[in-house]
Structure 1
Amino acid sequence: MSDLQHWLERIERLHPSEIELGLERLRRVAGDLGVRTLPMPVITVAGTNGKGSVVRLLTAMAEAAGLRCCVYTSPHLLRFNERIRLPDGPASDQALCQAFAAVEQGRGDTALTYFEFTTLAGLWLFQRSDADLCILEVGLGGRLDAVNLIDADVAVVTSVGLDHLDWLGDSREAILREKIGIGRAGRPLVYGEAASPSNLDSELAALAALPLRAGREFTLGDGEVAVRAGDEQRRYRIPEPARLGDDNLATAIQALAAAGLAPARHIPAQVVDTGLTGRCDRRRFNGIDCILDVGHNLEALTRLRRRLLACAGRRRLVLGMMADKPVEQVVALFAAEPLEWYLCRPDLPRAATVERLAAAIPETAPQAAAVHLCDSVAEALVAAVNDSDTGDQVVIVGSFYTVAEALTVIEAVPPPAR
Structure 2
Amino acid sequence: MTRPQTLADWLLHCERLHPRTIDLTLERVQTVAARLNLRFECPVVTVAGTNGKGSTCAMLEAIALQAGYRTGVYTSPHLVHFEERCRLRGEVVKAEALLPHFEAVEIARAGQGLTYFEFTTLAILRLLSQSELDLVVLEVGLGGRLDAVNVIDADCAVITSIDLDHMEYLGPDRESIGREKAGIMRAGRAVVVSDPMPPRSVIEHAQALGADLHLFGRDFRYSGDRQQWNWAGRHRRYNALAYPALRGANQLLNASGVLAAFEALHESLPINAQAVRNGLAMVELPGRFQIVPGQPTLVLDVAHNPHAVATLAENLDQMGFFPRTHAVFGAMADKDVSGILRRMHPLVDAWYFTDLPTARALPGADLLRRWQALPTRSPAPAVASVHPSATEALQAALSAADPADRIVVFGSFFTVGGVLQGGLPRLSARHLG
Q: TM-score when scaled to structure 2?
A: 0.90
1:157 maps to 2:148: no
Query: Is 1:96 aligned to residue 98 of structure 2?
Result: yes
Contact 2:72 2:137 in 1 (8 A): yes
Query: Does residue 379 of the first structure (1) align with residue 392 of the second (2)?
Result: yes
Equivalent pair of 1:87/1:130 in contact (CA under 8 Å)? no
**Where in structure 2 are the equivalents of 1:7-406 lying within 5 Å?**
7-35=10-38, 37-87=39-89, 89-222=91-224, 223-228=229-234, 232-240=235-243, 243-244=246-247, 245-260=251-266, 261-270=269-278, 271-272=280-281, 274-284=283-293, 287-308=295-316, 309-361=319-371, 362=374, 364-366=376-378, 367-406=380-419
Q: Which amino acid aligns with 2:18?
A: H
Kindly provide the CA deviation profile for residues 90-138 of structure 1, in whole angstroms up to 9, marking residues without a partner as x: 2212111111001101110111111111111111111211111100000
Unpaired runs of 5+ residues, structure 2, are: 428-433
CA offset digits 1:43-78 (Å, max 9, x no partner): 000000000000000000000100010110100111
Report how far residue 211 of structure 1 moved. 0.5
Q: State the number of aligned residues.
A: 410
2: CA distance, partners of 1:388 / 1:306? 22
CA gap 1:241/1:130 in 2 versus in 1, 3 angstroms: closer
Structure 1 alignment gaps of length 5 or more? none
Can you list the C-alpha shifts for 1:272-291, whole angstroms capped at 9, x where unaligned?
A: 45231010011147x43211
Q: Structure 2: how far apart are the matches of 1:354 and 1:91? A: 34
Distance 1:251 1:42 in 2: 15
**RMSD (Å) for aligned C-alpha atoms:** 1.9
Taking the aligned partners of 1:254 and 1:162, their CA distance within structure 2 comes to 25
Aligned residues of 1:316 and 1:384 also touching (Cα < 8 A): yes
Stretch of structure 1 that moved more, 189-198 or 85-94 = 85-94
Query: 1:16 is paired with a residue of what secondary structure?
Result: coil
Shift of 1:198: 3.0
Give, as a single letter, the amino acid of the residue that structure 1 aligns with 2:134.
Answer: D
- Quick check: 252-261 or 150-159, which moved more? 252-261
What TM-score does the superposition give when structure 1 sets the normalisation length? 0.93
Identity %: 40
> Structure 1 residues 241, 307: CA separation in 2 closer, same or farther (over 3 Å shift)?
farther
Structure 1 range deviating more: 85-94 or 125-134: 85-94
Paired residues of 1:53 and 1:276 also in contact (CA < 8 A): yes
Label 1:241 to 1:109 Cα distance change in 2 as closer, same or farther (>3 A).
closer
Tell me how far apart the structure 2 counterparts of residues 3 and 395 of structure 1 sit (CA, whole Å). 36
Take 1:298 and 1:275, find their aligned partners in 2: how far apart are those partners? 24
Query: How has the CA–CA distance of structure 1 residues 284 and 241 changed in structure 2, closer, same or farther, with 3 Å as cutoff?
Result: closer
Residues 171, 345 of structure 1: alpha-carbon distance in 2 compared, 3 angstrom cutoff: same
Equivalent residue number for residue 431 of structure 2: none
* 3-state SS of paired residue (1:279): coil
Matching residue's letter, 1:365: R
Letter in 1 for 2:265: A
**Deviations, residues 330-372 of structure 1 (Å, cap 9, x unaligned):** 1111112352111112121121122322223336312445111
